A and B are shown apart, each in its own frame.
Chain A
Amino acid sequence: MRTLKITIYLLLLAVYAFFCYLMAAITMQYIPINTDVAFLRIKQEYVTMIHYSISFFIHVFTSIFVLIAGFTQFSKTIRQKYYWIHQSSGWLYVVATLLFAAPSGLIIGIYANGGFWSRIGFCLLAVLWFIFTLVAMWRLKQKNIIAHQQWMLRSFALAMSAITLRAWKYVIVALFHPPPMDVYRVVAWLGWVLNLVIVEVYIYRKWKG
């Protein structure tokens, strides 16, 4: 049974590593810094706004650090035997999220593709992600480890939306070929709400409410 658990864990880690690689590849498109490349090619009416450009590049270059936590924070072995790894990786995640990735995400979310409801979706995501992460650290300060764990799970579920949003987009386009912005409007919500639902179910079942 234990071998099975380890195998599944390693398999998930491999899948996660693959998606992290894809995210790193997306990040590389913006090196060297260029306001008319990749995603920005269809945001030209916004790149002249300095707060947009700065937020965009902060978001692109710091979000990749947020993903590192996924390799370290779910391992009991690391928590018990190499606590310093859990701590440093944890701080990296919190600083990257609270100071850089979430606030910048909120700003660029205001100008998201897909119209009003798409923008609400991304801005809500940014705000909740910020709040969940902050509460998780507050609970840690209160030495409420279980609450710290639960709120970090919620926080990370939202962080995962970077990967799940793009995965959904790929699948929806491959299956249904809808018009591009229609897809965007769907994944602006599907990308994170489903993650949160799944993690709430997990939390409920693990800690029985």
Chain B
Amino acid sequence: MKKLFIYTFLLGILAACGETETAQQQETLQQTEQIQQPQQQTVEIPENQQGMYGYYVGMFEAEEFKKNKKPSYSNKINIAIDKIEDGKIEGHSVIAGNSRPFSGTITDKGNNVYAVEAKEPGDDKYDGTFSFIVDATNKSLQGTWVANDKKLAVTKRKYNLPKKVFMYKKDLELEESVVQDIFYDSYDDEQGTFEIPTEQAILINASNTELKPEDIENLYKGDMEIIRNAIYARHGYTFKYRRMRYIFDKISWYIPVHTEVKDMLTDLEKKNIDLLKRYEKHSEAYYDAYGR
């Protein structure tokens, strides 16, 4: 009986010690957290961080620029968060015909808000550093970007981007914004006119309709160009040159995702592209020439 009491008592003490240690461990952990809070998240990735993965899309606005270098004041950008682990963030941005990776640190600021400092590799002349806040509740991110090369036309940009989901849909139609502005850099000295898109450019969908010559033979070259490039835009193609980029950046559903979409085109789209290119080239050579 006496032995049983002693053993139970010893067990009790051991258990109590164990509990104290756990409590001590917890306290230590909390202390560690408090010290490291400004730098690292040491707890494993909670669900809401994975919820931050995805595309944040909107306008990349010039904040510091040199006018004489013909800056592009505003381009649509897709800042994609690909991976968050141990306070490190990896992603990539797609804009103006380029897709560049970035990596850096992500810090929990509390209230479901995170601060990111991320650098692009640095071996491309347009690389720079991103500095932004991710609001995981509102699903948006905003901040600034600074170029590495201070001689660029634009050395600092700002952005406020809502999270968006990209999905190719052949039925996506163009919008009125297409016909509300002239083509970039289209002033013709000889004629004294600008080139403007017409309603025809937004009435024809070359991704869901098989085009025949009679559908497009009476179109202006610029309209055909828009109809053809809309195919690429639906697939998330990022436009390298301003002429088409400035038009599609204004489309609400347009998200730059891929630098190459050749392999994603449907057979119908490929056929339409061939037909449109043929008539565009013909118009280019013959529309205003002496001849038929």
Task: List residues of chain A with CB under 8 Å of any chain B CB.
Answer: 22, 26, 38-39, 41-42, 44-45, 113, 165-167, 169-170, 173-174, 177, 179-182, 184
Contact = CB atoms under 8 A, between A and B. Distances in A.
Which of A45, A167, A169 has its CB near the most chain B CB atoms (within 10 A)?
Answer: A169
Given A41-B281, A42-B213, A26 B218 contact: no
Interface stretch (B40-48, B113-121, B242-250, B282-290): B282-290
B291 interface: yes
Contacts, number: 47
B217 interface: yes
Q: Which of A22, A45, A179, A181 has the most CB of B within 10 A?
A: A179
Given A41-B278, A170-B289, A179 B220 contact: yes
A113 B288 contact: no
A147 B92 CA distance: 83
Contacts of A180: 217-220, 283, 287
25 contacts: A22-B290, A39-B286, A39-B292, A42-B213, A42-B217, A42-B278, A42-B279, A42-B282, A113-B292, A165-B292, A166-B290, A169-B290, A169-B291, A170-B289, A170-B290, A173-B287, A174-B191, A174-B288, A179-B219, A180-B219, A180-B220, A180-B283, A181-B217, A182-B218, A184-B292
Nearest to A167: B290
The A interface is mostly helix, strand or loop, or mixed, namely: helix
Given A41-B282, A42-B279, A179 B218 contact: yes
Given A41-B281, A44-B278, A166-B291, 8 more contacts: A22-B290, A26-B291, A42-B278, A113-B292, A166-B290, A179-B220, A182-B218, A184-B292
Nearest to A181: B218
Interface in B212-261: 213, 217-220
